[in-house]
Structure 1
Amino acid sequence: MQARDVDYRCGETSLRGYLALDDNSAGPRPGVAVFHEGLGLGEFAMERARRLAGLGYVALAADMFGDRRQATNLQEVATLVGGLRAEPGELRARGHAALETLAALPEVDARRLAAIGFCFGGTVVLELARDGAELKAVVSFHGGLATKLPAQAGRVKASVLVCTGVDDPLAPPEQVADFENEMRSGGVKDWQVIAYGNTLHGFTNPAADGSIMRAAMYNEQADRRSWASMKSLFDEVLT
């Protein structure tokens, strides 16, 4: 397997992503962009990129904050994430910059792209779908579902999968219901929400132990099941 850093830009912002691909695969193959949690691009998103490469995809773990900045506490997370959420146009632009970088790689079939995201990254992939990105699928793992720019009728091209914890305070039941209504009113052709019982925020990350955020707790069963659901969707729309 090959893994390396990839530098790209969005306007004046320098971004440093992480690319993973299988050297033994021949010819262009589907590409998957991976969007990180609120802490920034770190080992968790990189490991997921390598795992996707092991499945035969070219995976680019994107950098949404610039210069691969990392947050160490909730105050820094709030500053970095809040700044982008306050400017959804910039958030979407940085997401598109990662997709364009991925699509331009010679190993990638630009007609078969998908995006996944965790926590803040889950919000990012949903914003890309709402913006009409040329994606076959987006998968949000414990991401925020609210938006300032709801999906417009006929705009969403991607199949949408949301994996959420029933007990996640960052995606409460009323937010889930609003998202479902948004998908209906936006005429999204293929969408699904899978809610895992007895599951909090951050359920895919083994490092989530409540130390940084009390509501963030790893759940091995929900992690395993949500990843399997992602693979099933990708098998359907990326082959």
Structure 2
Amino acid sequence: MTSKLTPLAVGIALSLGAGTALAQLQTETVKYSVDGKTFTGYIAWNDAIEGKRPGVLVVHEWWGHNEFARDQAEKLAAAGYTAFALDMYGEGKVTDHPDEAQAFMKEATGDLESLKARFTAAMEELRQHDTVDGSRIAAQGYCFGGAVVLNMARLGMDLDGVVSYHGSLGSPIEPEPGTITARIQVYTGGADQMVPADQVAGFVASMQNAEADFSVTSFPGVRHSFMNPGADAVAEEHGMPIGYDQDAAERSWEGTMRFYQDIFSQ
């Protein structure tokens, strides 16, 4: 376990006006095994908070378990949750090239049972943490990760809620009414070429047929990967139709915080 002096931790300290706050953000790298493969997760919590609290799983973009995913876990810890940035690829698979990312994603999504097993193992790691109330668990995902958390909800996994940011909304899973117990929030870009309008409409129809409790927020003119501040540099380097949008990112995060306050207070 390490106390990490990240920019976020410094920000927390400054906002509280106390140098001791630097020690409050705790992080730990966790190794775990699924079907004989090694996976690396990253857990973050605030040790200034007493007692058990809800846990939130963070599922990375198609690039793999990278710094952005860990940063999101730290933001959640600062908000009062224990967060676990999990690893859906395993064995150190992380990249900054879209071709390799696509290959990683294709391998991970090729076997739905394996995907579920990887998610379940990470959820158990989070539940077992000393700071976590295992009866209150949510999951949020970005891009590939957004699709993952939505599919876990479609499969009826025991989650209070899931949040998808610019995640794929199509799925081979068509849940029956009553299958989905998690409440769902989706944030998507109105100019997202990877999640076009017909996919959004199909998702809405599927969720309505499943009688799910869900909401979809679409931001006009916003492209894919709008939550990630590094998206513009990737777009320029690889010619991808993606881009960061500060307003959409901030509104999505604020909506997520309200969502968690609501589902975890029930």
The TM-score, its normalising length taken from structure 2, stands at: 0.87
Q: Which residue number in structure 1 is paired with residue 22 of structure 2?
A: none
Quickly say closer, same or farther: Cα 1:213–1:132, change in 2 above 3 A.
farther
Deviations along 1:20-45, one digit per CA (max 9) or x if unpaired, are 00011111100000000010111111
Query: In the alignment, residue 27 of structure 1 is paired with which amino acid?
Result: G
Q: Which has the higher contact order (CA 8 A, sep 6+)?
A: 1
Distance 2:154 2:238 in 1: 30
| 1:183 to partner: Cα distance | 0.3
Q: Which residue number in structure 2 is paired with residue 101 of structure 1?
A: 125
Deviations along 1:101-137, one digit per CA (max 9) or x if unpaired, are 1111121001111000001000110011111111111
Distance 1:59 1:75 in 2: 29
Q: Please provide the CA RMSD for this pair.
A: 1.0
Q: Which residue number in structure 1 is paired with residue 224 of structure 2?
A: 201
Q: 5 Å matches for 1:118-129?
A: 118-129=142-153
Q: 5 Å matches for 1:66-215?
A: 66-188=90-212, 190-209=213-232, 210=235, 211-212=237-238, 214-215=240-241
Distance 1:117 1:10 in 2: 20
Distance 1:131 1:7 in 2: 26
Q: Which residue number in structure 1 is paired with residue 89 of structure 2?
A: 65
Percent sequence identity is 36
Structure 1 ranges of 4+ moved more than 4 A: none
Report the secondary structure of 1:144's partner residue. coil
Structure 2 unaligned blocks of 5 or more: 1-24
Which segment is superposed worse, 106-115 or 5-14?
A: 5-14
Distance 1:205 1:196 in 2: 15
Q: Which residue number in structure 1 is paired with residue 264 of structure 2?
A: 238
How many residue pairs are counted as aligned between the two chains? 238
Q: Which residue number in structure 2 is paired with residue 4 of structure 1?
A: 28
Distance 1:228 1:68 in 2: 32
Distance 2:164 2:195 in 1: 12
| 1:75 to partner: Cα distance | 1.1
The TM-score, its normalising length taken from structure 1, stands at: 0.97
Distance 1:213 1:22 in 2: 39
Structure 1 unaligned blocks of 5 or more: none
Distance 1:72 1:8 in 2: 24
Q: 5 Å matches for 1:10-21?
A: 10-21=34-45
Which segment is superposed worse, 141-150 or 81-90?
A: 81-90
